[in-house]
Homo-oligomer: A and B are copies of this chain.
């Protein structure tokens, strides 16, 4: 193990070297019938089959060893204990506190955070129940039927994934829409058919300064004022905020009583179980269903913390990702849920994985000598089969696949008879077939009908998609990404890579404002390529 003074890079560990040498001599053979029993994880709520990965028992042992040598256990415990593992920002990483249903104290700077967590949850409960019961209404006294959540990135993708996954549980007559993009198309198309009297806006921004969100919030304010008038109570009744910036929230016109807080130890992409998801989801699904989401996430949290690595649903897939990325060079992963309800899981996972682990320096600021975060993409099955699967089956690059399936359907449809299968059964014929096609391939005398096989995949099987399992999958996604970051020795909890673009964007806004003020286009300091584009945009004319 590394000395305390100079932590060892994972690339220097014994396990890393033994994986390198294992890879050189490994001849994949996935035909051994014992693999299914050797390479699976059984738990109460999910079954994980990884027998189709390019592994043998030696590789799995080396991966577990890698986790141990990189200090994974201590790092996980440090996270759960509220240590400031987000070192660049000096913050704890405690999304697990948001669903710490036992209420056991978690200390940050010597202070238990749980009372505040509980207080915000209670506030969400009270508020959402008042809205749902019709005790809290719009300015004209009408019940709220439309919830419009304005937020972007972490204030959008996680809640949207959960809302979509839990749509069968929506309260009757309640709609929830998300406005994220600053492109006016997003706001207009999402509000065009809404009755303002029945519409509640939730403005979600930690700092209340996120450019896109504040632009959309201002537009929402004008939209409602155009329809209902300028009485200050209109904003107070029709707007709430999820934020930590009380003054800015008040200045916007929102009653600070209707501000739901969170904390610097909740990162954006890990905030779906905070008020960021809690407020919109409790209004849309009812507070009880939001609590089910928390319960599912909490189950995965406890599993992650307490289960040995070789039976750990979050750690083991992360180790397989590392094997695929660092030892096989497979740097893109397909996420293939056989469930329309998970249609937004890939977009959310993209943020969690690619923002967390798209890093090129380690936690000490040293340039890494090995690859980190993979690209994640995906569409629900069977849709993807009729699109990009061709490349996965017969392309020149190998894309490890994560299949996710469910025993029960969200909406049973069709007949299960001697001659007929249900929609869900038909769906699952594909879930069964695709991994086999990838693993075993098929030889054909016509070359274009050859399938090489040996294309790695895993399958995660759950009972059904409901608020509990949606929460479980959320935490699964979070912990899988964090595990990789812990092993790679990077900070998975900051995102400085988005800052430069933001800063340059602000300068472009200043140029546009100067153009409004002076009629002159200032391109000084811009490179000619950007200068040509800016000219085209301001003169509203393509370059000639």
Contact = CB atoms under 8 A, between A and B. Distances in A.
Interface stretch (A33-41, A142-150, A311-319): A33-41
A433 B168 CA distance: 41
13 contacts: A153-B386, A183-B423, A219-B413, A332-B375, A354-B387, A360-B394, A365-B447, A373-B396, A390-B497, A420-B516, A429-B509, A441-B500, A461-B543
Contacts of A185: 168, 339-341, 409-411
A52 interface: yes
Given A407-B537, A436-B530, A543-B47, A395 B358 contact: yes
A46 interface: yes
A528 B39 CA distance: 11
A419 B513 contact: yes
Nearest to A504: B433
A187 interface: yes
Contacts of A399: 375
Interface string A90-119: 000000000000000000000000000000
Interface string A345-366: 0010011001101111100011
Nearest to A152: B386
A544 B340 contact: no
Contacts of A508: 428-429, 432-433
5 tightest A-B contacts by CB? A358-B391, A153-B386, A184-B413, A365-B447, A358-B395
B33 A528 contact: yes
Nearest to A192: B411
Interface in A374-412: 375, 377, 379-383, 385-397, 399, 405, 407-412
A133 interface: no
Nearest to A432: B508
Contacts of A496: 394, 448-449
A211 interface: yes
Most central of A332, A392, A417, A433 by chain B CB within 10 Å: A433
A350 B388 contact: yes
A194 interface: no
A193 B99 CA distance: 35
A423 B422 CA distance: 46
Interface residues of A, number: 167
Given A35-B528, A211-B426, A432-B505, 13 more contacts: A183-B340, A187-B423, A269-B387, A350-B388, A359-B390, A359-B448, A360-B452, A385-B498, A418-B513, A429-B508, A432-B504, A436-B530, A463-B542
A423 B184 contact: yes
In the complex this chain forms, how many copies of it are found? 2
Interface string A446-477: 11111110000001011100000000000000
B167 A189 contact: yes
A512 interface: yes
Contacts of A426: 182, 211-212, 215, 509
A184 B377 contact: no
Interface string A121-157: 0000000000000000000000000000000111011
A357 B395 CA distance: 7
A59 B417 CA distance: 63
A437 interface: yes
A268 B390 CA distance: 13
Interface in A485-544: 491, 494-509, 512-513, 516-517, 527-534, 536-537, 540-544
Contacts of A529: 35-36, 49, 51-52, 435, 459
Interface in A169-192: 180-189
Contact of A181 (B382, B437, B440): B382
Given A386-B351, A461-B542, A215 B414 contact: yes
Interface in A263-317: 268-269
B412 A354 contact: no
A397 B375 contact: yes
A371 interface: yes
Most central of A358, A494, A501 by chain B CB within 10 Å: A501
Contact of A387 (B183, B355, B365, B437): B355
A308 B370 CA distance: 42
Contacts of A498: 385-386, 389-390, 393
A427 interface: yes
Given A387-B350, A390-B358, A413-B219, A435 B396 contact: no
